[in-house]
Amino acid sequence: MQKKLIALAVAGLASTAAFAQTNVTIYGLVDYGYAYRFDGRGLDSLSNTINNAGKPNSASQLNGGQQSGNRLGFKGTEDLGNGLKAVFLLEQGFNLDTGASASTDSFYNRQAYAGLSGGFGTVVGGRLYTPHYTFVSGLDPFGAGTVGRYNNVYSIAAGAVAGSAFGNLTDPVRVDNAVAYISPSFGGFTVTGAFSNNASGNDSLSNNARNNTVYAVLGQFDSGALKLGANYHYIAMGTGLQAIDNVQNFTLGGSFDFKVAKVMALYSWNEIDNSLATVKDVTLNNYMLGATVPFGKFAAKGSYIYSDGNSGVGDAQQLALGLDYNLSKRTNFYTAYSWIDNSGSRMNGVGDASASGAYTGAGSAADQLTGANGAYLPGVWQQGFQVGLRHMF
């Protein structure tokens, strides 16, 4: 009898330990390949420097993180009972070229959050992808990677327009000090809401009015073949910090999977309201059409994006083509080509998932008009080609 009681007690302890155990998954991605970029007016797409007296220029480079950013992550859940779970995720980006961290400012620079999940939905807090980015990148045939990514012409380059040093906020990817709620599915319809008081690195300890505050809401419908969604993203810039009052983004899009091909369409309206009367507001209207065609182990993809900016901002368009070959569910070869045509006022570049080749905003406003001191010449057309290997684990 005593032995039976001891055995039952041990079994009970083991059961309790298993119930309280956190299931942790280690995952990651490594991506490496070759890139070639050709510029129409003497701009080195990789270093943003002018040479050859304004003649066409080319550059080639071995790059890590072209199709997807290299990363190492940890995620886990703990069953708390009654359908409630604790969840967390920590994800660090790194440069496969050198092994160095992708960021000198933060260790888990890609994502870092903790939260609870249950019948009510999911609530998480930390450094998060914006609802805007998860929605738009999901409609991009290139998944926001390679030289064909939508990001290249979706927003104005940072510093490209006077008074619009935060132009990249028209395509917000991640925010710090954020909290988000994801509802359960109601017949395929879900709602995501997010808030942050720390957009663009501003979180005042003494005055909330100085915070760069983010409000975002995304509604999506997913029936399997058909996916539709609408997103609104609003950033109220803190007082006394810069010459921008607010940034707004509205996005409407969807996709339909015909099995033989998946077709995507997207429209977005973006506006940067400047607080200085001498600086004109920036407005962008973006239109994107894309498709992915699987056949055997291959997947062909293509997209066309037209970005229509108001006076002083200019227009840009991009045509992109790509082909993936799946060696397995986790490993693939990829190749991509893109062509960008900027109007006289735009300065968008052929970047990829690691931002190689993207415009950095170097040089003063005067330099940007003349191409001096390594600044970007306006009206540049660019082409980019990449090939590489990606493995997910």
**Residue 349 pLDDT level (bands cut at 50, 70, 90):** confident
- Cα dihedral: 353, 354, 355, 357 (round 10): -100
Q: Which of 15-24, 274-283, 304-313, 384-393 has the lowest mean pLDDT?
A: 15-24
The predicted-structure confidence for 48-57, as pLDDT tens digits, reads as follows 444 444 455 6
pLDDT for 273 beyond 60: yes
Which pLDDT does position 200 carry in this prediction? 61
User: pTM of the full predicted structure?
Assistant: 0.85
- Looking at the chain, the whole-number percentage of residues with pLDDT higher than 90 is 57
Report whether pLDDT(121) > 80: yes
Check if the beta carbon of residue 369 is closer than 8 Å to that of residue 41: no
Give me the phi and psi of 254, to 5 degrees please. Answer: -170, 175
Task: Provide mean pLDDT across the span 69-89.
Answer: 97
Query: Per residue in 205-262, pLDDT tens?
Result: 556 666 788 999 999 999 999 999 999 999 987 765 567 788 999 999 999 999 999 9
Given a contact cutoff of 8 angstroms between Cβ atoms, the answer to whether 211 and 203 are in contact is: yes
Task: Please enumerate in sequence order all residues whose Cβ is within 8 A of that of 129, keeping only pairs 6 or more positions apart, or say none.
Answer: 111, 173, 174
Compute the distance between CA of residue 173 and CA of residue 128 in angstroms, rounded to an integer. Answer: 9
With bands split at pLDDT 50, 70 and 90, how would you rate the model's confidence at 68?
very high
List of domains in the chain: 27-70+128-171+222-392 (2.40.160.10)
Residue 46 has pLDDT above 60, yes or no: no
For the chain, the C-alpha Rg in angstroms (whole number) is 23
pLDDT at 361: 52
- Give CA separation, 34 vs 24, 60, 330, 335, 352, in Å: 34, 7, 20, 9, 12
pLDDT of residue 314: 87
Question: Which range, of 8-17, 192-201, 217-226, 320-329, averages the lowest pLDDT?
Answer: 8-17
Q: Which range in 137-146, 166-175, 195-204, 336-345 is most confidently predicted, on average pLDDT?
A: 137-146
Three-class SS state of 387:
strand
